[in-house]
Amino acid sequence: MRQVDALVLGAGMVGVSVAWHLQKRGMATLLLDRRGAMEETSFGNAGLIQREGVVPYGFPQDLVSLMRIAGNRAIDAVYHWAALPRIAGFLLRYRRNSRPHVHAQIARSYAPLIERCVEEHDAIALAADCSHLIRRGGWIRAFRSTEARDAALGEAESWRREFGVAYRALDAAALAAAEPHLAPVMCGALHWTEPATVPDPHALGLGYLAHFERMGGIFAQGDATTLCEAGGHWRVATAAGPVSAPRAVVALGPWADAVTRGLGYELPLMVKRGYHMHFGARGGASLNHPVLDSERGYCLVPTPRGVRLTTGAEFALRDAPPTPVQLARAEPLAREWFPLDKRLDAAPWKGARPCTPDMLPIIGPAPRHRGLWFAFGHAHHGLTLGPVTGRLIGEMIAGEDTCVDAQPFRADRF
Ligand SMILES: Cc1cc2nc3c(=O)[nH]c(=O)nc-3n(C[C@H](O)[C@H](O)[C@H](O)COP(=O)(O)OP(=O)(O)OC[C@H]3O[C@@H](n4cnc5c(N)ncnc54)[C@H](O)[C@@H]3O)c2cc1C
């Protein structure tokens, strides 16, 4: 049987980054996926490396927002009635953790991870010779009403003071100067200047993977649910036969529970699904930045394939059939805002953000199994946090000092 130093299960942005960091530290690493790398959630996101995202997305607390979402006609958040009995407990915990004083404490644990997101991407991208796939210049959150704009600017200012996040306030004229092809339907915007953006997250992940392989790492296909412990080692079946290692990292994103549950862990995981569709642009129109229609809750992102429209949160069971109603509701509004041309994809793409009820990812040792590590649950920020997660896992496994305090992310908090 083939022996390596480490197995990494799941080749999304998180698993690829973990595998890169382990191989970089001299551990012979095998990265496993049942598909090609970067073909699930990490494939089709909005491509934002969210340096501003220090406060994770909470559950609405005010009655107006709750009533709006309860009506199930919104664009930013919808739910499947049939899923409610299974996810109600999770939602209650999520809502409790979103109360202002708890949420603020969570943000203080989360911010140190977020603060490193751009530099940790840059470090891998530089080594992997794919810095050209990461763009500078940030992204823009635009507002239809002055009330929403002023509230967001107030919040941005408090994040600047507490977390050092940088932004520019744009009035309608400044927004038009930054994005000349947007129709003047917004009263202003918040320009987050420090985030980086990735027009093609799939290509970036494949670039990181190619460098992992050049360093001697192995990418193999196989089913992670074959993972078992035998004689103090972890063994998994791959297309090229069984492989064993003294340590294994579960980085299966929304599918993590397929492995962890079999090992006796009942972790509170749920998904917020999301969709995308690409469009052509009429008359040679283009976007200089990703732009968010903040009060409606969809993004328009310039990508090599066309303008990518991405949607907000759909609370549904992970494997329920696709119901891209948010895309259908957002498209007419997006067409009023930007001269979208025809749809370019045969069907909407669907992804599933892997979520925990305290909005923090699970990064660290498995509580009851030696040599087993967890790296999943990154919710809205898995592209953002893949590289810093890889670094943390690499440091913990190698017994190095960690770049941020990893205590808040341990699985044994549940
Ligand atoms: C519409 C949308 C927009 C988003 N925008 C952003 C954004 O702008 N910025 C950001 O940071 N994040 C964004 N996200 C979130 C981000 O995409 C996710 O957090 C991230 O992709 C999760 O990465 P992951 O590696 O944990 O999971 P995945 O990318 O899903 O990887 C998990 C891997 O596990 C594999 N796998 C599953 N089961 C098995 C098995 N049994 N055996 C072997 N392999 C298996 C899968 O094939 C997959 O490759 C967005 C998400 C959506 C849906």
> What atom of ligand 1 comes closest to residue 379's alpha carbon?
19
Gyration radius of the chain over CA positions:
21
Does 245 share its domain with 170?
no
Q: Average pLDDT over the chain, rounded to whole?
A: 97
- Nearest CA owner, ligand 1 atom 18: 382
- The count of C-alpha atoms lying within 13 angstroms of the C-alpha of 26, restricted to the half-sphere facing its C-beta, is 1
Residue from 159, 154, 149 nearest 52 by CA: 159
What pLDDT is attached to residue 355?
98
Query: Which CATH number covers residue 207?
Result: 3.50.50.60
What pLDDT is attached to residue 272?
98
Residue 47 is given by DSSP the state -
Pocket of ligand 1 contains residue 46 by CB under 6 Å: yes
Q: Which residues contact 226 (CB under 8 A, 6 or more apart)?
A: 235, 236, 237
Range of the domain at 395: 2-43+202-268+358-413
Tell me, in angstroms, the distance from the centre of ligand 1 to residue 38's CA.
Answer: 8
Does 279 share its domain with 148?
yes
Task: Output the CA angle 119-383-97, nearest 5 degrees.
Answer: 100
Does 303 share its domain with 336?
yes
What pLDDT is attached to residue 373?
98
Tell me, in angstroms, the distance from the centre of ligand 1 to residue 413's CA.
Answer: 23
Rounded CA-CA distance 387/383 in Å is 8
Does 276 share its domain with 351?
yes
Pocket of ligand 1 contains residue 52 by CB under 6 Å: no
What pLDDT is attached to residue 231?
87
Domains: count for the chain: 2
- Does residue 323 register a pLDDT over 90? yes
- Does residue 274 register a pLDDT over 90? yes
Tell me, in angstroms, the distance from the centre of ligand 1 to residue 68's CA.
Answer: 28
Does 283 share its domain with 390?
no
Q: What is the pLDDT of residues 286-303, one digit of tens each?
A: 999 999 999 999 999 999
Pocket of ligand 1 contains residue 384 by CB under 6 Å: yes
Does 259 share its domain with 321?
no
Does 287 share its domain with 367?
no
Does 6 share its domain with 37?
yes
CB atoms near residue 351 (< 10 Å): 23
Does 178 share its domain with 274?
yes
Determine, yes or no, domain membership for 141: yes
What pLDDT is attached to residue 280?
98
- Does residue 366 register a pLDDT over 90? yes
Pocket of ligand 1 contains residue 30 by CB under 6 Å: no
Q: What is the pLDDT of residues 259-270, one digit of tens each?
A: 999 999 999 999
What pLDDT is attached to residue 321?
97
- Residue reference for tokens 């009533």: 67
What pLDDT is attached to residue 64?
86
Rounded CA-CA distance 253/355 in Å is 9
What pLDDT is attached to residue 381?
98
Rounded CA-CA distance 50/288 in Å is 17
Instruction: Give mean pLDDT, residues 62-81.
Output: 91
User: Ligand 1 pocket: which of 30, 42, 261 to mutate (most atoms <8 Å of CB)?
Assistant: 42
Residue from 351, 379, 365, 355 nearest 413 by CA: 365
pLDDT band at 66 (very low <50, low <70, confident <90, very high): confident
What pLDDT is attached to residue 364?
98
Determine, yes or no, domain membership for 274: yes
- The count of C-alpha atoms lying within 13 angstroms of the C-alpha of 268, restricted to the half-sphere facing its C-beta, is 16
> How far, in whole angstroms, is CA 46 from its chain's centroid?
9
Does 289 share its domain with 399?
no
Per DSSP, which regions of 99-221 are E strands? Answer: 139-143, 167-171, 188-192, 196-197, 218-221
Does 172 share its domain with 141?
yes
Determine, yes or no, domain membership for 182: yes
In Å, what is the CA distance from 73 to each residue of 66, 127, 229, 325? Answer: 12, 46, 47, 9
Structure tokens at 169: 């306030």
- Does residue 402 register a pLDDT over 90? yes
Structure tokens at 304: 């090599």
Pocket of ligand 1 contains residue 225 by CB under 6 Å: yes
Q: What is the pLDDT of residues 181-235, one digit of tens each?
A: 999 999 999 999 999 999 999 999 999 999 999 999 999 999 999 999 988 899 9
